[in-house]
Amino acid sequence: MSILKSLLKMRKKKEYPVQVEEAAVAGPDLKNLNLEQLKEKIIAEFGSTIDLSIDELKTEGKDALLVYLTTMIDTKSLKETILQSISGQKEGFHLSTEDDLKSLCKEKFGGAGYQLVETFDEIIISLLYGNIIILFKDMEKALSLSMAIGEDRSITEPSTQTVIRGPKDGFVESITTNVSLLRRRIKNRNLRFERFIIGSETNTTVYIGYMDGIANEKIVEEVRKRLGKIKVNAIFESGNIEELIADKAATPFPLALNSERPDAVASNLLEGKIAILIDGTPFVLVVPAVLVDFFSIAEDYYQNFMMGSFLRIIRYVSFMIALITPSLYVGILTFHHELLPTPLLLGIIAQREGVPFPAVIEVILMEVTFEILREAGVRMPRAVGQTVSIVGALVIGQAAAEAGIISNIMVIIVAITAIANFVSPTYSFAAAARLLRFLLIIVSSILGLYGVLIVLVFIVAHLSSLRSFGIPYLSPVAPFIIEQQKDVFFRFPIWSMRKRPAYLKTQNPEKFPKTGSPSPPPMKGDQPN
């Protein structure tokens, strides 16, 4: 595992800014080739791509080649800084040995993030990452300078996971910007980032970030191992990574948390979790993820703890509503009429009078219609997005009910399910409810509420068997940890949540010393304690 070895070595070096270091795969060394051969070889590697630029120049009395990809580098700074400092010759200086080259670099590019590379493959990868390469004649090492253009989307409010109170910045596509967003939140020397290059064809940069001295070393090691094992050709989004490093593939539940919010990721890092940042996507993965993570959001901690707890309970309730309401509707209306109070039952019967479909068909019909509408709403160009909601609300809901094809109560059921589904703070988790809902509906149409419960038992058993990086998915509820109940269904005041999650087995289980609740200054006449 050469990748792993190189990565392990890399850890000991400085963390940031990270530069291309030893290439993953060994290639032919430079020493066997002269400049002409190198030039031909580079041209041969890149073929006839138009953005390859190879210029010959002479520096310090030595012939050299300046190689770069025009589309990947910042031409302005190339001209301004590099060419100025590199052209011309210093008195009495001859670039002949490696030490000469080193001292030259120290003098001219000290602090600019230079690097010496020695294999051909390293050169190629450096070029692809937006470095410029200067190859000197008769030298065993080439100079690689980072000059990548930093043209990114500016930092905007995240489009998912919005909050009312809380920071409004979100991750962007550039990984370096994302790292800096995290650094700015956690000004701590123990924040570590490590780099991986994943994807045999895309060579995507992936960072893992964690707090040294807090995060469980075993889990960090496990993350490294799993990332190292990935052997796919392309990584475009965190979803790709998520699927490839999950403990179990056949599950509708997400085994890694994704977030667009730097504050959320930062707080998770401080809990002892590990962030995985992927270049080219604003979604950052956080592992290990447990079920309760998908119900708590950063805003819970920004507002009053009572409100935070209330909203969290609302989220759990909504998830259950989104999951089981349609199947309860089918189960109760076709099997357990006795569960409804008489006036309600009579009301529903009166409404359903003349509806031609059995309840289950009605529910599936409407749920599928709603899913179609929803998908259409997401995929449609923004400009016509409005139409979808109008068509959806008006045509499907009202007209169908008026035509007597479906009952009014069905529209209510579908609506409440949909709204409850939107409450889920993490899209990928809500997706699980969307899928399982249909299974529940079908089983409940055959076995009634008994069927619903059987399926729920299967779901709970499945959830209990899941693990995310070895951590049981249902922690801290099962296995039960009493201390962590402060942050599961309720959000206790911050001063009382002194412990990091015990199930993560962090190196430093305490967040801060015991302080007790804030109290007012003693009143006149109060006995001082």
Partner 1 sequence: MLKENISLSQLLTLLINFLLGSAIVVGVGGDAKKDAWIAIAVSIMFGFGIMLFYYFLISRVPGKNLYELMEMGFKRPIAIIFSSIYVVYFLYLASRVVRDFGELIASAILPSTPIEVISLTICLAMAYILYLGLEVLGRTSEIFTPYLFGFLFLLTILLFASGNADLNEIKPVLGDGLKPVLKALFPTLIVFPFGELIAFSLILPVVTNFKYCLRVSLLGVAIAGALLLFAMFLMIVTLGADALLRSNFPMLSSAREVSIGNFIERIDALVVFIMMLGILVKGSVFMFAGLKGLEYTFRLPYRYFSLPVAMLVSAYSVLISVNFGDHWQEGLEMVPYFLHLPMQFGLPSLLLIAVLWRKRKKKAKPGTKGMKF
Partner 2 sequence: MKNFGVIAAILLAAILLSGCWDQRELGEITVVTGIAVDKGENDSYILTVEAINATELNNRTASGFAPSIIYSAEGNSIAELIYRVNEGISRHLIYSHMRTLIIGEELAKEGIIDFIDFLERNREIRDDFNILIARDSKGSDVLKVTYQFQKSTSLKLHTQLDTMMKDWGGDPGVRMNDVITAWTARGRQPVMAAVRIKGDPEAGANTENMMKVTPDALVVLDSLAIFNGDKLVGFLTLEDSRNYLWIQDKINKTSITVKCSESRYMGIRVYDTKTKIKGKLENGKADIHIKIRAEAYIEGAYCKDQFVKVKTYEENGKIAEKQVNEKVAETIKKVQQEYGTDIFGFGEVVLRQDYQNFNKVEKNWDEKFAEADIHVDTSLNIRRTGIRTKSFLKEVK
Q: Which residues bind partner 2 (CB under 8 A)?
A: 250, 333-335, 337-338, 342, 345-355, 358-359, 442-443, 445-448
Residue 478 touches which of partner 1, partner 2, none (CB < 5 to 8 A by kind)? Answer: partner 1
Residue 416 touches which of partner 2, partner 1, none (CB < 5 to 8 A by kind)? Answer: none
Q: Which residues contact 254 (CB under 8 A, 6 or more apart)?
A: 242, 289, 294, 426, 428, 429, 431, 432
Residue 461 touches which of partner 1, partner 2, none (CB < 5 to 8 A by kind)? Answer: partner 1
Binding of partner 1 at residue 451 (CB under 8 A)?
A: yes
Nearest approach, Cβ of 472 to partner 1 (angstroms)?
A: 7
Nearest approach, Cβ of 363 to partner 2 (angstroms)?
A: 12
Q: For residues 511 and 508, what is the distance between their CA atoms, to the nearest angstrom?
A: 8
Give 345 or 416: the residue with its C-beta nearer to partner 2: 345
Give 346 or 419: the residue with its C-beta nearer to partner 2: 346
Residue 465 touches which of partner 1, partner 2, none (CB < 5 to 8 A by kind)? Answer: partner 1
Among 465, 495, 508, 522, binds partner 1 (CB under 8 A): 465
Site string for partner 1, 287-326 (x = CB under 8 A): ----------------------------------------
What residues form DSSP beta bridges with 136?
64
Residue 460 touches which of partner 1, partner 2, none (CB < 5 to 8 A by kind)? Answer: partner 1
Among 44, 50, 378, 461, binds partner 1 (CB under 8 A): 461
| Other Cβ atoms closer than 10 A to 509 | 15
Q: For residues 437 and 346, what is the distance between their CA atoms, to the nearest angstrom?
A: 27
Sign of the torsion formed by the C-alpha atoms of 448, 449, 454 and 456: positive
Give 162 or 334: the residue with its C-beta nearer to partner 2: 334
Give 66 or 328: the residue with its C-beta nearer to partner 1: 328
Subset of 474-503 contacting partner 1 (CB under 8 A) = 474, 477-480
Nearest approach, Cβ of 339 to partner 1 (angstroms)?
A: 5
Subset of 411-450 contacting partner 1 (CB under 8 A) = 447-450
End-to-end CA distance of the chain: 63
Give 284 or 292: the residue with its C-beta nearer to partner 1: 292
Q: For residues 463 and 252, what is the distance between their CA atoms, to the nearest angstrom?
A: 10
Among 458, 508, 510, 512, binds partner 1 (CB under 8 A): 458
Residues 79 and 120 sit within 8 Å (Cβ to Cβ): no
Among 180, 200, 351, 464, binds partner 1 (CB under 8 A): 464
Q: Which residues contact 439 (CB under 8 A, 6 or more apart)?
A: 455
Among 25, 460, 495, 522, binds partner 1 (CB under 8 A): 460
Residue 110 touches which of partner 2, partner 1, none (CB < 5 to 8 A by kind)? Answer: none
Nearest approach, Cβ of 399 to partner 2 (angstroms)?
A: 18
Nearest CA to 392 among 426, 378, 404?
Answer: 378
Number of residues counted as binding partner 1 (CB under 8 A): 26
Residue 355 touches which of partner 2, partner 1, none (CB < 5 to 8 A by kind)? Answer: partner 2
Secondary structure of 249-296 as H, E, C letters: CCCCCCCCEEECCHHHHHHHHHHCCEEEEECCCCCEEEECCCHHHHCC
Residue 513 touches which of partner 2, partner 1, none (CB < 5 to 8 A by kind)? Answer: none
Subset of 340-359 contacting partner 1 (CB under 8 A) = 341-342
Q: Give CB contacts under 8 A, 24+ apart, made by 30-33.
A: 30/118, 30/119, 30/120, 30/123, 30/135, 30/139, 30/140, 30/141, 30/142, 31/118, 31/140, 33/120
Nearest approach, Cβ of 521 to partner 2 (angstroms)?
A: 47
Nearest CA to 413 among 346, 337, 351, 336?
Answer: 351
Give me Rg for the CA atoms of the chain: 30
Nearest 5°: phi and psi at 417? -60, -45
Residue 352 touches which of partner 1, partner 2, none (CB < 5 to 8 A by kind)? Answer: partner 2
Nearest approach, Cβ of 456 to partner 2 (angstroms)?
A: 15
Q: Give CB contacts under 8 A, 24+ apart, made by 472-479.
A: 472/290, 472/503, 473/253, 473/255, 473/289, 473/290, 473/291, 474/290, 474/291, 475/290, 475/501, 475/503, 476/290, 476/292, 476/501, 476/502, 476/503, 477/291, 477/292, 479/503
Q: Which residues contact 427 (CB under 8 A, 6 or more apart)?
A: 160
Q: For residues 410 and 518, what is the distance between their CA atoms, to the nearest angstrom?
A: 50
Give 184 or 248: the residue with its C-beta nearer to partner 1: 248
Nearest approach, Cβ of 337 to partner 2 (angstroms)?
A: 5
Instruction: Please report the beta strands in 324-482, taking only residues with DSSP state E, as ranges in sequence order.
Output: 467-468, 471-472
Residues 207 and 298 sit within 8 Å (Cβ to Cβ): no
Give 31 or 336: the residue with its C-beta nearer to partner 1: 336
Nearest approach, Cβ of 474 to partner 2 (angstroms)?
A: 21
Q: Which positions lie near partner 1, rule CB under 8 A?
A: 335-336, 338-339, 341-342, 447-451, 453-454, 457-458, 460-462, 464-465, 472, 474, 477-480
